[in-house]
A and B are shown apart, each in its own frame.
Chain A
């Protein structure tokens, strides 16, 4: 055990140490030009204590920093009674998370990755203001408690992205890929980027009314973030969730099965333990459209007389990391794929939208399942894309509009937006409200 835990045990009832050390390198190109190299070598740590039955917390750079334990104890003096106990010792599942080749990557090799992307795209799209980036990080995360939890993970992450705004427009196309191993540039992603970018050479505004809409994997957050807000144990406990008493009921289309799968192999957000040192495992949230369970961290589990589901993470919609309070949150959300090609979904639409993103999501009443966003994506007419969306908003409520899902694609991709890196297919929603012409 770290000396901070040993010291804490002399003066408090329970203690929990979170310590994250990371070294990362990132290179960034703007408009096909290498703009900047960034290197970060940082440590961050947090301490929660329970003293006289009350909980307090403190944050610092290093665990042996002066005042760290004292600040947590001061917090506990004023804190509320703690219902939770910190995690005890546990066996954690095995999951490959570290690759020595990735750990050794330097900026020159990341520049090579970007140059590969640049050389392939510049020939086809020379006049595009293409941004490219590549990065690698190695991280050591330790969570220890006075109750015996001793969770340690050493991980690597490498990835790249490329994207560009449409000529003279605010929206554009953006692709990314990451893994624990050194990045291999995907020709499929490059080809898809060129195809989608060219789709956006013209603008098109759909009619106002109800139209079929396909969410691409990166836009799955429009459905998944309201769902996360609804299945959070925190919202259920406060009764602000519209799902509070609906376990066992059909809340979405029977075509939708949704898990949280922290053990998703190769995924850079995969984890064997959460930020409280509780073991993680695959968890069914929605099965064939039926709500199966909620997400709990230690605090909400204790409040509702449940075990933590291993979903206590330092994450919120707008950030994550050391100083973020622990919340029930997805680790790697996954939506089960269907059996239709996404291109066939497009071909089957007389008039509709292919949505790649939505702006202003967080301004809506999403905890109640609602969203109203500026639509980013493409206009489909007679089974073909006719241009990028312009002056278009889409709005709806997932618990009404996602009852009728036309089809789900066989292909999956990484989720984007506000979600952790799970996997989602293309989802055809039969009818959504569109504000256009």
Chain B
């Protein structure tokens, strides 16, 4: 099959073409409360072809591998059509030709664990949650995704590689009177089955928080200084800054491109941010991207100054900047887009206690609850928080969403902790001009940080 696909792309009248064919297997076991709602296996396969011809670009996805040839030819014709209308032709940066396989051998391979054992594990954790009298329902899910991919391109690269991602995650829902609260949990999130096991103590901590929240008070709307825990600050740097470091979002946005020239000072010298696909054992780690470029470490902010960004071969050529190996597609129905691997705020030298002590009236926000970004505007939630009054932690608060503007918020990041921690479960939604791709393999890490002013939405 590799040689067939290689012949398809090499015979196209294109400046560049590539084809990715993949066979994917997903296992999903889902509980909602006591009910086991799903024990499902998904087997999908198909191809995706990209062609750059006459300075234009076209892409196609297909289910039937027997149609790869005619679809690739039609895609090449469409690229030529696009090129006809472009004065400025699209180009592709030169990348090393790779003829190597990248297979995965986890410490304990989830592909070799029986379905029965996986079901028993999900059942065990779900029952632990249901034992708490405040819990009214759960969402407990075992989620496993494995993919075996062939990538060929007209440069001569022929690569076979695997992706594996496994985790148990879910939601604890508690109720008291009219107050209903939700707290998330997640174990695993990388290639190995081992981190899913023996997590009872961590689960009990999350259950306890879901119960405590029932007596918490809602946050008060306003502008406050905040301390973010590593989970929240990981989401902050991912949502607010990381997406603006993905070059495909800047490629045709002149005003942000001007704002984000390399060398621009974005924060205080204490701020260092990196994207790193090579860190072992994290949800966003990989060795090769879906454009046949090796995953790597890319400094994004160094001593407060913008020092790099994440690229495709197309955007690297357009920006005349180095390749970064960040092009990824969640599955065959999608084209690769530029995505973070593991983004992190590097360690600082402040302590958590110093940060809290420096605030007269503010909040300590804990636990990522998702976020959204558009350009330099960001919003994200916290699972719970605490008032900070006169330098000390106060009462617990609930129902917290915060928002802000990237550039002023980076400048307002005034303290960085010495306690870097990565979240286990990855996750990121991005469209990149097409349908939203929900990417499991996206890691976020950070120490505690202090931001001098953000807007909190509340009562």
Contact = CB atoms under 8 A, between A and B. Distances in A.
B45 interface: yes
Given A169-B375, A318-B438, A393-B403, A323 B79 contact: no
A400 to B, nearest CB: 10
Interface residues of A, number: 80
Given A36-B57, A168-B259, A323 B457 contact: no
A13 interface: no
B382 to A, nearest CB: 8
A45 to B, nearest CB: 10
A240 interface: yes
Given A30-B252, A360-B379, A65 B403 contact: no
27 contacts: A31-B253, A31-B254, A37-B58, A38-B60, A41-B61, A41-B67, A56-B39, A57-B40, A59-B26, A59-B40, A60-B42, A74-B41, A75-B39, A165-B256, A299-B37, A318-B429, A362-B370, A372-B399, A372-B457, A372-B458, A373-B401, A391-B455, A394-B457, A395-B459, A433-B221, A433-B458, A435-B221
Contacts of B99: none
A391 B454 CA distance: 9
Interface of A: 26, 28, 30-31, 33-44, 56-62, 65, 67-68, 71, 74-76, 78-80, 107-108, 111, 129, 131, 133, 165, 167-172, 208, 234, 238-240, 242, 299, 318-319, 323, 325, 359-365, 367-368, 370, 372-374, 376, 390-395, 433-435
A57 B221 contact: no
Chain B residues touching A, majority SS: strand
B61 A365 contact: no
Contacts of A68: 43
B16 to A, nearest CB: 14
B380 A393 contact: no
A280 to B, nearest CB: 23
B71 interface: yes
A435 B405 CA distance: 15
A362 B373 CA distance: 12
A42 B61 contact: yes
B434 A33 contact: no
A372 B429 contact: no
B36 A170 contact: no
B88 A75 contact: no
Contact of B457 (A31, A65, A393): A393
Contacts of B63: 41-44, 61-62
B223 interface: yes
B378 A359 contact: yes
A200 to B, nearest CB: 12
Interface size class of B (residues with CB under 8 A): 35 or more
B377 A78 contact: no
A362 B39 contact: no
Interface stretch (B177-185, B269-277, B281-289, B444-452): B177-185
Contacts of A238: 32-33, 136-137, 173
Given A39-B78, A133-B433, A360-B371, 8 more contacts: A42-B63, A42-B333, A131-B252, A165-B375, A240-B173, A359-B373, A365-B399, A390-B405
A300 to B, nearest CB: 11
Given A40-B61, A71-B41, A79-B39, A373 B252 contact: no
B372 A325 contact: no
Contacts of B173: 238, 240
Contact of A240 (B41, B88, B137, B400): B137
A58 B401 contact: no
Given A43-B63, A364-B381, A38 B335 contact: yes
Nearest to B332: A42
Contact of B88 (A26, A33, A61, A167): A33
B457 A395 contact: yes
A179 B85 CA distance: 27
A59 B42 contact: yes
A302 to B, nearest CB: 12
Contact of B221 (A56, A360, A395): A395
Contacts of B456: 393, 435
The 5 lowest CB-CB distance pairs between A and B, nearest first, are A170-B375, A363-B381, A360-B379, A372-B457, A30-B252
B421 interface: no
Contact of B36 (A36, A80, A367): A80
Interface in B245-285: 251-256, 259
B46 interface: yes
A71 B82 contact: no
A325 B455 contact: no
B208 interface: no
A65 B23 CA distance: 13
Contacts of A390: 405
